[in-house]
Amino acid sequence: MRGQLVRILRGVTATLGLLGGASAGAEEVVHDFRGARFDRQLLRFDGPDAPEFYTPEAEGLRVRIGYGRVPTKTAGVAWNCTIRGDFTATVHYEVLENERPKSGYGTGLELYAYLDSPVKKPGQSRDGLPLVRLARPAEGLVFRFSHMTYDDNDQRVATAVAEVPADPEKKRGRLRLSRQGATVIASFAEGDDGAFQELQRTDVGEFNIRMVRVAGAGRARLDARILEMRLEGPDLGLPAGIQATAGPTAPGQRMLWLLWGIGGAVVIFLAAIAVAWRKRSRTAAAPSAPEAHGNGPMVGFACSACGKNLKVKEDVAGKRVKCPGCGQLVQAPALELGEPGA
């Protein structure tokens, strides 16, 4: 039993160490656009005419494209930072209208991460990771992810493509890109508090992230609100003076901290059982001192705890015995060389 308890304690401790280490040192920054807020120290418009398509409103940052004109290039809102190492980027949105185009790639709301990958020649784009809630000409409304990179012929191609249908009745939801080491994981959640579903994961290397952007993409009509943007990681590279909150606070990470607390309680409980069991085993293993009525050669002494006069047999002399009066373990005196029993 003792060996089993030791193994359990070691296993729980090792597991808790992994859980704690996975989220240690994380920080988080959240921007809530509701209340017509737009922090230009944290965020910037990306695209030459981007401000024309975004309007801060009480319900969130309104984006409208395709109503008379479309941006000359993709127009979005980006974090003012370069991210190093692992990270999680999330956008919470509400779609009011998402027209299905007759041709082209599609129209929708996009969460995009630009990698700081090398550029082989002038004018070439860097690798990118678009995760989109998109109305496509043929497929209809979908969630789609891809890794945009270059093939051996320097042609821009989409790799690691994954696409699943979206529920047109769910107008609100969240998009999330996260990186663990060299692996990027794309996931989505429909509704304000729906569970995240993994769409795709792919190895993209360990390049820094030059930019994380949220944008309305496409040329058909899109009317949506960006409700909140959230960024988490151990090295976000935030602008000077920005105070990030201590992470982790994302739902999955909150669960890790809950497991950490439960696991700590389990460790303490098992440790208490182990100590009690060990103490009981030692007490049970110790011989009891007989009452002082003698029967054969005996060694006499007084209990050091309660003072009761005790006698033990010669073969117990020098060992710890249990006092029948107070129950404490006491040391019986040892016989000196040649000393007979009392």
- Cβ atoms of residues 242 and 42 within 8 Å: yes
Tokens of 226: 């960006």
Report CA 328 to chain centroid distance, whole Å: 50
Per-residue pLDDT band at 136 (split at 50, 70, 90): very high
Q: Quick check: 96 and 59 in contact, CB under 8 A? A: no
Per-residue model confidence (pLDDT) at position 257: 45
Those residues with Cβ within 8 angstroms of residue 155's Cβ, 6 or more apart along the chain or in another chain: none
Q: Which of 111-120, 130-139, 145-154, 272-281 has the highest mean pLDDT?
A: 130-139
* Coil vs helix vs strand at 89: strand
Q: No. of H helices and E strands in the chain?
A: 2, 20
The yes-or-no verdict on residue 43 having pLDDT over 70 is yes
Mean pLDDT, the chain, rounded, equals 82
What per-residue confidence (pLDDT) applies to 243?
A: 65
> Residue 241 — left, alpha, or beta (φ > 0 → left; ψ -120 to 50 → alpha)?
left
Indicate if the pLDDT at residue 184 is higher than 90.
Answer: yes
User: What distance in Å separates the CA atoms of residue 159 and residue 161, rounded to the nearest whole number?
Assistant: 5
What confidence score (pLDDT) does residue 41 get? 93
Distance CA 116, CA 126 (A): 7
pLDDT for residue 144 is more than 50: yes
Higher-scoring residue by pLDDT: 21, 31: 31
pLDDT digits (tens, 9 = 90+) for 61-92: 999 999 999 998 889 999 999 999 999 999 99
The candidate with the shortest Cα–Cα distance to 158, out of 119, 179, 128, 126, is: 128
Q: What is the largest CA-CA distance in the chain?
A: 115
* Burial category of 324 from C-beta neighbours within 10 Å (exposed 0-12, middle 13-18, buried 19 and up): middle
Give the separation between CA 113 and CA 186, rounded to whole angstroms. Answer: 11
What is the structure's pLDDT at 159? 96
Tokens (6 digits) for 290: 């007989």
**What per-residue confidence (pLDDT) applies to 160?**
96
What confidence score (pLDDT) does residue 238 get?
Answer: 85
- Pair 140, 100: CB distance under 8 Å: yes
Q: Where is average pLDDT lowest: 16-25, 154-163, 224-233, 298-307?
A: 16-25
Q: Which residue has the higher pLDDT, 47 or 314?
A: 47
Peptide bond into 168 cis (omega under 30): no
Of the pLDDT bands very low, low, confident and very high (cuts 50, 70, 90), residue 244 is low
**3-state SS assignment for residue 20:** helix
- Cα angle 197, 202, 207 (rounded to 5 degrees) comes to 120
- Higher-confidence residue: 299 or 302? 302
Six token digits for residue 20: 């704690």
Percent of the residues in the chain that have a pLDDT greater than 90, as a whole number: 55
Higher per-residue confidence, 141 vs 271: 141
Q: Write the CB contacts of 141 (distance below 8 Å, at least 6 apart in sequence).
A: 98, 100, 133, 134, 135, 165, 166, 167, 168
CB 175 within 8 A of CB 200: no
- Is a pLDDT exceeding 90 seen at residue 178? yes
Chain segment 16-29, per-residue pLDDT in tens: 443 443 344 678 99
Confidence of residue 330 (pLDDT cuts 50, 70, 90): confident
Most confident region among 15-29, 43-57, 315-329 by mean pLDDT: 43-57
Structure tokens at 183: 């692996």
User: What pLDDT score was predicted for residue 40?
Assistant: 94
DSSP letters for 275-302: HHHHHHHHHHHSPBPPPTT--SSEEEEE
Q: How many CB atoms lie within 10 A of CB 14?
A: 10
**How large is the average pLDDT for residues 153-178?**
96
The answer to whether residue 50 scores a pLDDT higher than 70 is yes
Alpha-carbon gap, residue 263 to 266, rounded angstroms:
5
**Of 92-101, 166-175, 273-282, minimum mean pLDDT range:** 273-282
